[in-house]
Amino acid sequence: MSIFHSMNTTGSALTAQRLRMDVISSNMANVDTTRATMENGEWVPYRRKTVTLTSKEGQFSNYLNTAMGSTSKQGVGNGVKVTGINNDTETPFKLIYDPTHPDANDEGYVQTSNVDPLKEMVNLISATRSYEANVTVFNANKSMLTKALEIGK
């Protein structure tokens, strides 16, 4: 295992959480968007986006250690990767009664995005806390490596 393995792991988490915060920011910016994309020849509101994260798997060293029967790397992570940014198609669009709106239907209702600002703020706080925790881990690791290098002086 490289001495930079933990830094690479933490760095992948920082990158993933930053992307997650960017997607949440995009969702918040489009909370009132009524025309975002064309689907079947009609304008539809902005659909909330979600980020899917998974652990990095499939490194050669993991397969080699498993084949050799080594258990020394059990529990050691390889980091995280983003496997997709998906549209939330399960949550329905919100209907707001506003007959004066240009996008109102015959009954006077306007379809707006399926973004819930409260849910997005909770997700943003979660992503921010995770980012901060990973920064703390990165700085602690950097400090330990610096101290280890000072031993040789």
The answer to whether position 68 is within a domain reads: yes
Report if residue 73 sits inside a domain: yes
User: Does 70 fall in a domain?
Assistant: yes
pLDDT at 152: 77
Share of the chain above pLDDT 90, in %: 59
DSSP code of 46?
Answer: P
The number of distinct structural domains making up the chain is: 1
Across residues 124-137, what is the average pLDDT? 96
Predicted local distance difference test score (pLDDT) of residue 13: 94
How large is the average pLDDT for residues 24-43? Answer: 89
36 found inside a domain: no
- Residues 137, 106: Cα–Cα separation, whole Å: 56
Asked whether residue 136 is assigned to any structural domain, the reply reads: yes
**What pairs with residue 111 in β-bridges?**
95
Phi, psi dihedral angles at 96 (to 5 degrees): -120, 135
On whether residue 37 sits in a domain, the answer given is no
Residue 64 pLDDT > 90 = no
Residue 122 resides in a domain: yes
Give residue 101's identity as a one-letter amino acid code: H
For 130, phi then psi, to 5°, come to -65, -40
∠102-116-107 over CA atoms, to 5°? 30
- In b/e form, how buried is each residue of 55-84, taking b as 16+ CB within 10 angstroms? eeeeeeeeeebeeeeeeebeeeebbbeeee
The pLDDT, as a whole number, for residue 90 is: 92
Burial label for 113, CB within 10 Å (0-12, 13-18, 19+), is buried
Specify the 3-state DSSP secondary structure of 128: helix
pLDDT for residue 148 is more than 70: yes
Indicate if the pLDDT at residue 9 is higher than 80. Answer: yes
What phi, psi does 63 have (nearest 5°)? Answer: -65, -40
pTM for this prediction:
0.81
What does the pLDDT read at residue 35?
A: 86
- Domain of residue 80 covers 5-31+49-87+115-151
More confident of the two residues 40 and 19 = 19
In a domain, 104, yes or no: no
pLDDT at residue 57 in the model? 72
In this prediction, residue 51 has a pLDDT band, given cuts at 50, 70 and 90, of: very high
Percent of the chain with pLDDT over 70: 88
